[in-house]
Each structure stands twice: as C-alpha cells, then as structure tokens.
C-alpha cells in the first residue's frame, strides 16, 4: 500500500506569511501538511483556514533551534504513516544591529535561528526521505545570503552559513534522489510583517513592487515538480521593480 504524501513546514507564523502560504498551497495540492512554529495561536489560525478549504493539517509546537523539538516533529509525521515529500525550512529571524553594537548573544541567536536550526531540520528531512530516495528540501534564504549589508551583518553571516549548508547537502544527497533547494528572497514579501512594520514602504513600492505570497508558493511547487534531469538548486526571486 502506497504511503500518503505530506509536507513539513517549520517557521509558520502569521496567516499572511510565507510559511502559512506554503502550507495552504501544498494542502490545496492534496498533501497533508505539518505546520510547526513556536506560537500555538498562530498555528491554530492557519490550520482553521486550511480545514475550511477541505485540507488536512496537523500542528506541532516546535522551536527550530532545539534538536529534540525538530526530531519530534518528523517522528510525528512518520508515526502517522505519511511519507514526507516536501520539507521547508522557513525560519527567517532578523535583528538590525550595527556591528559594534552587536553582542555575542544576538549574533549567536541569529546563527541558531537561521543556520543551526536549518542543519537540524535538514538532517531529519534527509533521514525521512532517504529510504524512498525521493523528496524536496527547501531552505528559504534572503538577499543577505549573498551579500552582507550593515546593520544586518550578523544576519548575513547566518544566512551565508545557511546557503553553504544547502550547497553541501545538495551535492551530497542529490545523487540519492533528494532535491535540495536554496531560494534567495531578494526583496520584501507582501505579508503581515511588512504591512504592520513599515506600511509607508509598502505603499511606496506600488503594485507588484513586493513579492506576492502566492507567487512564491507557486514557484516552490513548480520546483518540487521538476524532472530530476533538470533540477534547480538555487534561484533568486525578486519583484520586477527591484534593483539588483
């Protein structure tokens, strides 16, 4: 009997955020989705929306930087009898901090959230996918993955580490049928965070000046469906108005 398919997404926060949008999109494609994050209230809100559309979802309270939490997340999926077809690491914690004002605690926290957690998550995902030699592992990066710009040097150091992790995993596990993808989100996402924290910037960007959530999710899905003879490992997504 063939296993049922699922997607595991960690870093699910506001309903109008990338993690939640990926969950809704993958659910609409017929996958059972496991949504994980630190806020039960936010997870419940996303789960309600998925169920209202007829989707299937489980919520798991998990901190991506804690190894036992990440292990527990994947163990739940496997105990439920699902194969993991997609795993998405969507933790994107950022703190603006000029270098001389950045203490070791802040630097370490950013590294843990953006890099260490990705290592823990990626390792569990590969272990879950390796027997079937099939699955897509996404790591959501940022402009900072490629270049550091003050006052986000600590964040960039962590995101550069994430990118290196994704490169190494792609080289090691692609021959085993596991598609490892690093996405560079080069611009601001049109979600709850941007609209609440800098509404004037959002307004100034105008129509299609910000990355649209559904458009990103559609791209993730199309990459997941790629033929293995023409896999994308890294891509950058930016609004057509964004300078680069």
* Predicted local distance difference test score (pLDDT) of residue 90: 97
> Does an H or E element contain 109, and which?
helix 104-111
In tens digits, what is the pLDDT along the chain, a chain of 244 residues? Answer: 457 999 999 999 999 999 999 999 999 999 999 999 999 999 999 999 999 999 999 999 999 999 999 999 999 999 999 999 999 999 988 999 999 999 999 999 999 999 999 999 999 999 999 999 999 999 999 999 999 999 999 999 999 999 999 999 999 999 999 999 999 999 999 998 888 888 988 888 888 899 999 999 999 999 999 999 999 999 999 999 888 8
* Predicted local distance difference test score (pLDDT) of residue 196: 85
* Residue-range domain boundaries for the chain: 4-95+114-148+160-237
* Predicted local distance difference test score (pLDDT) of residue 2: 58
Regarding the domain with residue range 4-95+114-148+160-237, which homologous superfamily does it belong to in the CATH classification? NAD(P)-binding Rossmann-like Domain (3.40.50.720)
Strand runs labelled E in 114-238? 135-142, 178-185, 234-237
Contact 8, 88 (CB under 8 A): yes
Paired tokens of 51: 């169920």
User: Are β-strands 135-142 and 4-10 bridged in parallel, bridged antiparallel, or unpaired?
Assistant: unpaired
Burial of 79 (0-12, 13-18, 19+ CB in 10 A): exposed
d(CA 40, CA 144): 29
Q: Is the dihedral of CA 211, 214, 218, 220 positive or negative?
A: positive
Give CA separation, 173 vs 22, 91, 129, 179, 220, in Å: 23, 22, 10, 8, 19
Contact 145, 94 (CB under 8 A): no
d(CA 221, CA 63): 25
């Amino acid at each position: 009997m063939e296993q049922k398919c699922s997607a595991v997404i960690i870093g699910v926060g506001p309903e109008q955020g990338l993690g939640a949008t990926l969950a809704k999109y993958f659910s609409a494609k017929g996958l059972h989705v496991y949504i994980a994050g630190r806020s039960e209230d936010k997870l419940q809100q996303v789960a309600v929306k998925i169920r209202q559309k007829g989707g299937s979802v489980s919520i798991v309270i998990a901190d991506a930087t804690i190894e036992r939490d990440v292990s527990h997340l994947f163990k739940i999926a496997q105990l439920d009898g699902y194969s993991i077809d997609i795993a998405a690491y969507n933790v994107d914690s950022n703190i603006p901090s000029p270098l001389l004002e950045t203490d070791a605690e802040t630097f370490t926290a950013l590294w843990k959230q953006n890099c260490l957690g990705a290592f823990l998550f990626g390792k569990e995902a590969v272990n879950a996918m390796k027997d079937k030699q099939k699955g897509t592992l996404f790591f959501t990066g940022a402009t900072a993955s490629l270049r550091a710009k003050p006052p986000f040097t600590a964040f960039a150091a962590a995101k550069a580490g994430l990118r290196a992790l994704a490169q190494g995993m792609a080289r090691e596990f692609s021959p085993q049928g596991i598609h490892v993808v690093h996405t560079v989100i080069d611009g601001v996402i049109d979600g709850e965070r941007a609209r609440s924290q800098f509404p004037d910037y959002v307004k100034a960007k105008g129509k299609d000046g910000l990355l649209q959530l559904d458009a990103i999710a559609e791209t993730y899905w199309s990459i997941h469906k790629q033929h293995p003879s023409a896999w994308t490992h890294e891509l950058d997504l930016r609004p057509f108005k964004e300078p680069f």
